Amino acid sequence: MTDPMVLRAEAAQKTLDQFKDRPLVYGTRDCVRMAAAHLRRMGHSVKLPAAGSYRSPRSGMKALKARGFDTLAGALDGLGFARIAPAAALVGDIIQMPGNAEIGALAIAMGNGRALSYHEDVVGAVIVQPIETLAAWRVEPRG
């Protein structure tokens, strides 16, 4: 059996490789799609609206509310992931940070206090040092 930490690191690296040079496009390549891709790599089932069904943070909020959630945090809670202290996040866990819009931002914990996230000053997802973390969820690898 493969060590769970190895599975976490492999999934996080593959997510970084997929999103690192690809510009943010709401509804196609954004923090929600990135988190969903990562969760699938970790063996979890995640259903999202069709690609392109939202094109801005505002329409993303509408899509989220149409699925019965008021926040991204509520959606992750709804998937059954346990909330943890952000400082306890391991590689591969999901964290939430403030964003430029009401919807906020999701990121993948990469270890050593860093995270994979989209950032307004860079094309593609990058490794950032979060200044503020609003919430975090433990994501255990499956299978």
Distances (CA, A) of 38 to 22, 59, 76, 107, 115: 15, 23, 13, 10, 13
DSSP state, 29?
B
pTM over 0.85: yes
State phi, psi for 117 to the nearest 5 degrees: -155, 160
Which residue do the tokens 């988190």 mark? 35
- Does residue 1 have a pLDDT over 70? no
Tokens 């995270």: give the residue.
115
Q: Dump pLDDT digits (tens) for 67-108.
A: 999 999 999 999 999 999 999 999 999 999 998 788 889 999
- Distance, CA of 33 to CA of 116 (rounded, Å): 13
Q: How many CA atoms lie within 13 A of 82 on its CB side?
A: 6
pLDDT of residue 130: 95
